[in-house]
Amino acid sequence: GVQIHKVQDGLKPIETIKNIIAVASGKGGVGKSTTSVNLAVALAQSGARVGILDADIYGPSQPLLLGVKGKPELNAKQHMIPPKAHGVWVNSFGFLVEENRAAIWRGPMVVQAMNQLLSLTEWPDLDYLIVDMPPGTGDIALSLAQKVPVVGAVIVTTPQDIALLDVRKGVSMFQTVNVPVLGIVENMSVHICSQCGHAEHIFGQDGGKALAESQSIDYLGGLPLDIKVREQSDGGVPIVAADPQSKISLIYRQMARRL
Ligand code: ADP
């Protein structure tokens, strides 16, 4: 069943969207977008109605990850109709701005664009809207977390110490704006050699798990570094859709069940 979380004090929930969940990371390149899209598709596979809002202004990648081309069409009210792929409705900063321009935006513009993606998009009734946040815990992430009625956050990290330091900042950022952290996802937690099966902890071991424990936050699980994840992503078919029976897809579905 779909859970309904509570919106932070002072913000009005969006009536047609039950749960807005932010997927965040301390820094770029840790797999935040990959995790967002696979969790979204996994939720949709479980029967939930799911949208994904790509707010990663530095590299809006959700249209690519979902294999969506072209911009959303407008209805008579000039609202954007979000395209649907792999069971998930999507809208993205990438549709609003020209490539390579978004990264120079300042905070207030981003918040404004985010509001457009929320209110000027004809989202259908949704159980979950997954927000692929801008990386980091800077002004932009903070103002989004303050202005959008987010019910919870998932933080993605690699097991490296340096990444974990950033996670601590992420946890305290969400705590500052009273958004509960629903859990930590450790991505690229181990590399399994596709030739010999040897497991190697390239970025260290269990750092995310230890951090989650020390901060009393749920550990949602760890995902291996696997070439199939990247290949499927680049091909516009998230691994949970491409290979739902794989071990990795199972991990994503287990994580999704806890949202
Ligand atoms: P972020 O959103 O944090 O910047 P991405 O999700 O874009 O990170 O991931 C960065 C790169 O790493 C992408 O090329 C993606 O396909 C790849 N990647 C992410 N997670 C994995 C994984 N578990 N195994 C292999 N490649 C991965």
Write the single-letter amino acid at 162: I
Residue 4 lies in a domain: no
Q: Is 32 annotated for ligand binding?
A: yes
Q: Are 185 and 156 in contact (CB under 8 A)?
A: yes
pLDDT tens for 103-132 read 667 777 888 888 888 889 999 999 999 999
Pairing of strands 181-192, 73-74: unpaired
Candidate from 230, 232, 252 with most ligand 1 atoms within 8 A of CB, to mutate = 230
More confident residue, 166 or 230: 230
pLDDT tens for 139-169 read 888 888 888 889 999 999 988 766 678 888 8
Pairing of strands 88-92, 84-85: antiparallel
What does the pLDDT read at residue 66? 97
Residue 6 lies in a domain: no
Q: Determine the structural domain holding residue 248 and report its residue range.
A: 17-257
Residue 226 beta carbon below 6 angstroms from any ligand 1 atom: yes
Residue 7 lies in a domain: no
Residue 183 lies in a domain: yes
Residue 116 lies in a domain: yes
Looking up residue 59, the CATH number of its domain turns out to be 3.40.50.300
Residue 230 beta carbon below 6 angstroms from any ligand 1 atom: yes
Atom in ligand 1 nearest the alpha carbon of residue 224: 23
Atom in ligand 1 nearest the alpha carbon of residue 34: 6
Residue 115 lies in a domain: yes
pLDDT tens for 8-49 read 777 777 889 999 999 999 988 999 999 999 999 999 999 999
Residue 186 beta carbon below 6 angstroms from any ligand 1 atom: no
More confident residue, 34 or 201: 34
ipTM computed for the complex? 0.99
How does 17-55 read in b/e, with b if 16+ C-beta sit within 10 Å? Answer: bbbbbbbbbbbeebbbbbbbbbbbbbbbbeebbbbbbbb
Residue 89 lies in a domain: yes
Residue 249 beta carbon below 6 angstroms from any ligand 1 atom: no
Checking if the pLDDT of 7 tops 80, the result is no
Residue 232 lies in a domain: yes
What does the pLDDT read at residue 99? 61
Q: Is 6 annotated for ligand binding?
A: no
